[in-house]
Structure 1
């Protein structure tokens, strides 16, 4: 397949990510004299409702980019609720009536979504689609719904009513009006699929960015770890307040600072509570999850944000290979134990709290 305009959309995200990585490498890395200053081979496109940037630092070719975008297009065609013919859309159309056989990929992501729905005790719930559509935050149809509309939508939300048949690979929504929305986890799955594909092509240094869902593949070309900037939730995209060092890790942030609706002087962010039907109320403004697999980081970022600082931090500490960075509305920063020696605040307006 030849790359078309969909895969070549200019994006501020790619400039942001590259500038954060290279600015840090140049200013702070003691081995900066050995850093290659040439930029990676990069392509960008629009999939799963967000800009996607793939940046390859070795063995890049047009074919690798093409095949990578083919993978993303396939995932989108199966899992997007914005594509009327997708498998997830067909599941939703059959809500309350019949089970639908789906591909192994869609079945896997839904099962993983149910795992995190259960782990969070419903704070993260992939059956929240009707509520997401009702608010429409981030779209031109955004509105503050009436209490009656919210209550009606809440009645359709319950991940326990998503019925899986492992043997036959079918999915059924028990009640009419239910809508699965994999927007909180599908990008993570896509990042993992791309990283696995790149590894199969012997790519050793790459950055994959799906709308801020970042996977740092391998290490930098000089062998050192990637220095990844953590977005300042109080500033426009592109300004970071801290740095972590990683390799073969996913970094995913959920926050209230980009997608929101403002009405009568009040802001309503896009992270909705299945319990209240309204945006989650917490002192947190962002949560960043660091994990080996992007699907885990993606599912956990919303989960942990919704749980709040104390319960969220407790849950992360109970999970192997998972770490988190919390920022509250007072610019206080909390990190889990695995990041105590791997997180540097670069903006003095933020305070690292040791508790």
Structure 2
């Protein structure tokens, strides 16, 4: 019995000693285990910038974070996601999800990804609002003008025939695309449709890239894909992210005017870079889905919105609608829109009623 008592006593003392040891060493272990994640205040964060060729344009990231190692990991994951989305939305890739959908049998509901369905749904709503001025089924007409621009580099006398234009236009019509919101399916009701997301996809991808940055704890960032820009919170001690928008001075000269944006998207669309000139007329790369003809109005449209997806497609739609109808469309929806006219004489800039860029 005495031996049992002493064994119990020693056992209790040993357990007590181990518990005390635990309390002594636990803070030390905690410090050692977290030593590689030293807290760095946001005021000490560095700015990192990346540019990669994605979706046929320079896809830019600028953001602030705590270390170069984290910045590299984040940028890599964002660009990987951009490539995934491009493989969904591209009409250049024959095996993209969009291209496969364009080849789907008529009348058969096709299940599509959540990303593609969301973009199609937004596009179809805008098609209804603009009565077809925005139409993602205009791929046949868009491709016709795209090929013409390329061919005229080799053969300056190449023009489109009326037969070619009419043949492409017969395959255009947003009402021939049916969406089932419950099942996330898409049904083509006519053959030969070619879907083209050129007026909305880049904006959506920019939104997705910013969403990834925010989920990684990065809240001061700039994302741009050509004319589609999205920013979150401003850099510390700055009024906003510095962006240049084309404006016209009192003498009619075009110049880059600086604006500062916070938590906003800015998209610019027009024919200042991509166009073809035929017999003295300038035809834009933007095609009016209602006629199948490249725009000749020579306007540039900038839209500020909360979403890059919306600013992108609104800018394209307003280009097609033209100045008067476009401003009416913008004011009805309280959109921030800036329209620059380039066709005749001195360039002119007209803001919508709700423009707050300056």
TM bracket, shorter-chain basis: 0.7 to 0.9
- Residue number in structure 2 paired with 1:331: 347
Give the Cα–Cα distance (whole angstroms) in 2 for the partners of residues 210 and 291 of structure 1.
16
Deviation at 1:168, TM superposition (A): 2.0
Deviations 1:160-216 (A, max 9, x none): 110112222111221111111111101111011111111122212221110121112
Give the Cα–Cα distance (whole angstroms) in 2 for the partners of residues 280 and 264 of structure 1.
15
Give the Cα–Cα distance (whole angstroms) in 1 for the partners of residues 74 and 148 of structure 2.
32
| Larger Rg belongs to | 2
Give the Cα–Cα distance (whole angstroms) in 1 for the partners of residues 307 and 198 of structure 2.
17
- Structure 2 gap segments, 5+ residues each: 1-42, 153-157, 249-253
User: Per chain length, whose mean CA-contact separation is higher, i.e. which structure has more relative contact order (CA < 8 Å, sep 6+)?
Assistant: 1
Deviations 1:105-135 (A, max 9, x none): 1110111111111111101100000111111
Instruction: State which drifts further: 69-78 or 48-57.
Output: 48-57
When residues 232 and 141 of structure 1 are mapped into structure 2, their CA distance, relative to the original with a 3 A threshold, is: farther
Query: Is residue 120 of structure 2 the alignment partner of residue 105 of structure 1?
Result: no
Of residues 299, 307, 315, the one that matches 2:313 is 299
When residues 223 and 204 of structure 1 are mapped into structure 2, their CA distance, relative to the original with a 3 A threshold, is: farther
- Residue number in structure 2 paired with 1:157: 172
Task: After TM superposition, list the pairs within 5 Å mapping 1:215-254 onto structure 2.
Answer: 215-231=230-246, 240-254=255-269
Deviations 1:208-265 (A, max 9, x none): 11012111221123242223111469xxxxx843232220111100111100123444
When residues 212 and 323 of structure 1 are mapped into structure 2, their CA distance, relative to the original with a 3 A threshold, is: same
Deviation at 1:82, TM superposition (A): 1.1
Deviations 1:44-99 (A, max 9, x none): 11222222111113345111001100110111111111111111111111152533
Q: What is the DSSP-based 3-state SS (H/G/I as helix, E as strand, rest coil) of the residue aligned with 1:337?
A: coil
Q: What is the DSSP-based 3-state SS (H/G/I as helix, E as strand, rest coil) of the residue aligned with 1:300?
A: helix
When residues 338 and 225 of structure 1 are mapped into structure 2, their CA distance, relative to the original with a 3 A threshold, is: farther
Taking structure 2 as the reference length, what is the TM-score of the superposition? 0.78
Instruction: State which drifts further: 91-100 or 121-130.
Output: 91-100
- Residue number in structure 2 paired with 1:72: 82
Q: What is the DSSP-based 3-state SS (H/G/I as helix, E as strand, rest coil) of the residue aligned with 2:293?
A: coil
Deviation at 1:273, TM superposition (A): 1.0
When residues 336 and 265 of structure 1 are mapped into structure 2, their CA distance, relative to the original with a 3 A threshold, is: closer
Give the Cα–Cα distance (whole angstroms) in 2 for the partners of residues 292 and 138 of structure 1.
36
Task: Tell me, yes or no, if the aligned pair for 2:50 and 2:61 is still in contact at 8 Å.
Answer: yes
CA RMSD of aligned residues (A): 2.4
Task: Tell me, yes or no, if the aligned pair for 1:208 and 1:216 is still in contact at 8 Å.
Answer: yes
Give the Cα–Cα distance (whole angstroms) in 1 for the partners of residues 274 and 65 of structure 2.
35
Q: What is the DSSP-based 3-state SS (H/G/I as helix, E as strand, rest coil) of the residue aligned with 2:288?
A: coil
Give the Cα–Cα distance (whole angstroms) in 2 for the partners of residues 104 and 315 of structure 1.
29
Give the Cα–Cα distance (whole angstroms) in 1 for the partners of residues 290 and 208 of structure 2.
32
- Residue number in structure 1 paired with 2:25: none
The structure richer in helix per residue is 2
Give the Cα–Cα distance (whole angstroms) in 1 for the partners of residues 331 and 270 of structure 2.
20
Task: Tell me, yes or no, if the aligned pair for 1:81 and 1:181 is still in contact at 8 Å.
Answer: yes
Task: After TM superposition, list the pairs within 5 Å mapping 1:78-227 onto structure 2.
Answer: 78-96=88-106, 98-136=108-146, 140-141=150-151, 144-227=159-242
Query: Is residue 62 of structure 2 the alignment partner of residue 55 of structure 1?
Result: yes
Q: What is the DSSP-based 3-state SS (H/G/I as helix, E as strand, rest coil) of the residue aligned with 1:287?
A: strand
Matched positions, count: 300
